């Protein structure tokens, strides 16, 4: 690829990754507005976020496998066309069911992040591609921080449809960008989708995300929730067996069992729980009314501004991490980033009496998440063939989605447990308890990352 084409390709990859992440996160600040506008319960409105995460989790490994084949460009364009169509459904004056369908179509775009990494690895010089892949990973995280305040502002000014209109505009721009800039995949590639594996994985992920979102089920019908959790685990085991026996697996489970990849995915799962837990705690705390005895009663838009330090420092960490990789091994960067996120939890647990302290905690979280996201691809791709880049990273993103969903659910359960009878809001101490749980999660992530670093060191110096 010519140098000028490479220069155009990099911003295109970044823009597409940013758009699909921001659009998928649009449901977060709009839940209350959706409930009011469509006259549905908050639980039903919550599905505008959950259904996007679910469709993204299901689509990601399928798109990752298609992206490993000869029709990657067509896959990217077709997926973005689906996202644009879904965005149109969210804007048109249609019933609530059509809004959910549109959000599901928008969520499919989350599977494109891994394909953007595959394009970068195939068409950029090795040293350049590593830095670009790290930034794509970071951009896919901070997209939520970009979309949240914009969507909240538009919702306040023009209603839900105006906020979703932002999604239609930027996804159409992303489709045009991809059509003009995405190159064809290298010759000699082949990819077949394991339909049986995709169906079983979809069923398992549906249960996992459903259980993550239905907090009342755990508090009121624990036996049913536990039974469904067992079914989900069984389905995941069945899926693993199918993949091991398939000649064209959806995900190469044997490669996933590699100690470096397995350790990285474990770190991603536990770390994802912690990262999203703190994000949830801070945004919810900021919007709690003054009358409760804590909180700041911020509007949705102003609360969204709290995410600005998260996005800015996350991007800064993403830019610094590739330079640090020349001196520090990726697993050690993961460990260091996990410690930083743990520091964000500690700051939130100890000091949250002022809005500035929430900004500080969110900034620390963003810096840790940015470093973690930038270092993660290096751990996995160090033992992954070029042709399997999209597939390997897509599985990691599925793990991340599950971790984020569990983090949100765990936060909700802890705060629900700390809410007294007849009260709408939890006690302030419940937030401290949740923060301590988050510190524990990041400690596990740190130890896992250090174990990866030790293993790499022993392989380098036997």
Please tell me which residue, 76 or 249, carries the higher pLDDT value: 76
pLDDT at 141 over 80: no
Going from N- to C-terminal start, the domains of the chain cover: 1-187, 194-249, 253-462
Phi, psi of 51 (to 5 degrees): -65, -30
Question: What average pLDDT does this structure show over 194-208?
Answer: 84
The confidence score (pLDDT) of residue 318 equals: 87
Question: What average pLDDT does this structure show over 105-111?
Answer: 91
pLDDT at 1 over 70: no
pLDDT tens-place string over residues 290-315: 888 898 988 878 877 888 899 889 98
pLDDT at 365 over 90: yes
pLDDT at 234 over 80: yes
pLDDT at 6 over 70: no
pLDDT at 443 over 80: yes
Lowest mean pLDDT among 80-94, 310-324, 360-374, 375-389: 375-389
Q: Look over the chain and give the mean of its residue pLDDT values, rounded to a whole number.
A: 86
| Tokens matching residue 191 | 């990819």
The confidence score (pLDDT) of residue 215 equals: 66
pLDDT tens-place string over residues 268-282: 999 999 998 998 899
pLDDT at 71 over 90: no
Please tell me which residue, 177 or 58, carries the higher pLDDT value: 177
The confidence score (pLDDT) of residue 331 equals: 93
380-to-133, 197, 324, 374, 457 alpha-carbon distances in Å: 12, 22, 17, 12, 16
CATH architecture for the domain at 253-462: Up-down Bundle (1.20)
Q: pTM of the prediction?
A: 0.82
pLDDT-based confidence at residue 3 (cuts at 50, 70, 90): low
The confidence score (pLDDT) of residue 91 equals: 94
As a whole-number percent, the residues of the chain with pLDDT over 90 amount to 36
Residue 418: CA count within 13 A, CB half-sphere? 16
The confidence score (pLDDT) of residue 5 equals: 56
Question: What average pLDDT does this structure show over 230-253?
Answer: 85
pLDDT tens-place string over residues 145-157: 777 788 888 888 8
pLDDT at 460 over 70: no
What class does CATH assign to 1-187? mainly alpha
The confidence score (pLDDT) of residue 189 equals: 66
pLDDT tens-place string over residues 208-230: 877 876 767 777 788 898 899 89
pLDDT-based confidence at residue 62 (cuts at 50, 70, 90): confident
Q: How many CB atoms sit inside 10 A of residue 131's CB?
A: 19
pLDDT-based confidence at residue 43 (cuts at 50, 70, 90): low
pLDDT at 37 over 70: yes
Contact 134, 44 (CB under 8 A): no
Question: What average pLDDT does this structure show over 324-348?
Answer: 94
Task: Select, from the ranges 204-218, 305-319, 342-356, 373-387, the one with the highest average predicted confidence (pLDDT).
Answer: 342-356
As a whole-number percent, the residues of the chain with pLDDT over 70 amount to 95
The confidence score (pLDDT) of residue 344 equals: 96
């Amino acid at each position: 690829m010519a140098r000028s084409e490479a220069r155009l390709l990099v911003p295109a990859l970044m823009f597409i990754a940013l758009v699909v992440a921001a659009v998928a996160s649009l449901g977060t600040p709009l839940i209350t507005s959706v409930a009011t506008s469509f006259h549905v319960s908050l639980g039903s409105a919550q599905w505008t976020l959950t259904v996007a995460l679910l469709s993204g989790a299901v689509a990601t490994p399928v798109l990752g496998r298609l992206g490993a084949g000869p029709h990657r460009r067509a896959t990217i364009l077709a997926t973005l066309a689906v996202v644009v169509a879904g965005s149109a459904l969210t804007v048109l004056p249609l019933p609530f069911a059509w809004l959910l369908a549109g959000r599901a179509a928008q969520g499919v775009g989350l599977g494109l992040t891994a394909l953007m990494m595959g394009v970068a690895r195939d068409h950029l010089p090795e040293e350049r591609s590593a830095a670009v892949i790290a930034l794509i990973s970071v951009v896919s995280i901070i997209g939520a921080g970009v979309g949240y305040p914009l969507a909240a502002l538009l919702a306040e000014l023009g209603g839900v449809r105006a906020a979703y209109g932002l999604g239609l505009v930027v996804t159409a721009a992303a489709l045009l960008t991809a059509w003009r800039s995405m190159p064809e995949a290298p010759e000699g590639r082949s990819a077949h989708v394991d339909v049986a594996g995709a169906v079983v994985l979809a069923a398992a992920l549906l249960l996992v995300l459903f259980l993550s979102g239905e907090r009342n089920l755990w508090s009121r019908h624990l036996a049913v929730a536990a039974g469904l959790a067992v079914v989900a685990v069984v389905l995941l085991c069945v899926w693993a067996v199918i993949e091991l026996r398939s000649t064209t697996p959806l995900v190469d489970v044997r490669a996933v069992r590699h100690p470096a990849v397995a350790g990285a995915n474990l770190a991603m799962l536990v770390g994802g729980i912690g990262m999203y837990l703190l994000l949830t705690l801070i945004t919810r705390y900021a919007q709690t009314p003054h009358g409760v005895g804590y909180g700041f009663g911020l509007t949705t838009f102003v609360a969204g501004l709290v995410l600005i330090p998260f996005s800015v420092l996350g991007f800064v960490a993403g830019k610094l991490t590739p330079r640090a990789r020349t001196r520090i091994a990726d697993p050690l960067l993961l460990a260091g980033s996990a410690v930083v996120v743990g520091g964000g939890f500690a700051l939130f647990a100890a000091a949250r009496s002022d809005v500035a302290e929430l900004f500080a905690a969110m900034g620390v979280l963003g810096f840790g998440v940015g470093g973690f996201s930038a270092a993660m691809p290096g751990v996995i791709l160090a033992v992954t063939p070029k042709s399997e880049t999209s597939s390997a990273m897509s599985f990691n993103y599925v793990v991340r989605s599950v971790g984020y969903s569990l983090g949100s659910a765990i936060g909700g359960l802890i705060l629900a447990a700390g809410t007294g009878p007849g009260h709408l809001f939890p006690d302030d101490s419940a937030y401290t308890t949740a923060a301590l749980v988050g510190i524990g999660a990041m400690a596990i992530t740190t130890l896992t990352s250090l174990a990866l670093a030790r293993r790499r060191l022993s392989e380098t110096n036997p």
